[in-house]
Amino acid sequence: MQHCTYSQSSSNKKTINMDTVKKAASPVYSRNDTSKVDLSNDEWKKLLPKDVYDVARLKGTERPWTSKFEKSKDIGTYYCAVCGNALFKSDTKFDSGCGWPSFYEPISKTSIIYAEDNAYGMQRTEVECGRCKSHLGHVFNDGPPPTGLRFCINGVVLDFEKAKDAEKKYNEQNKRS
């Protein structure tokens, strides 16, 4: 079984937890807008917390078994923490034992972009967000049926919305209309 590899990128900026950053403050974060986002790394660096920037834009990797999503069994949708693009449904998540949240199928064909990654002397397939091209992780051919794929994703670049929370928001918005 192939495993994700651990690497870190260096930076002198202090770490900020993504949970403390308001998504509304980012001009590109939207769970409804599907238009492509194309910003320079300097612009991303101003918008993103250090830990998210290091993984999403510098293709870093968070430490294994540190993601709050790795063992999560909540029902809902996983989004790109950088731009809000829908990436995975929780019913495609499985415990791969690799130390990172793993999924066997993206939410749609356009939610993910695939790129060749030959870094560190390995041949892998990188997965990026289909909207903002942020690095998410890698995909391997050792996952469960029905796809046989294992999308090994850095939890720091994921947002999650529970299905019940989404339903409540939807119902509240329809009452106002």
152 flagged as catalytic = yes
The CA distance from 160 to 173, in Å, is 20
CA distance 106 to 12: 34
Q: Alpha carbon of 124 to those of 24, 129, 140, 152, 164: distances in Å? A: 34, 17, 7, 11, 36
DSSP 8-state secondary structure symbol assigned to residue 15: P
**Residue 106 preceded by cis peptide, ω within 30:** no
Please tell me which residue in 4, 83, 129, 152 is annotated as part of the active site: 152
Owner of token pair 């999650």? 160
Question: Active-site positions?
Answer: 152
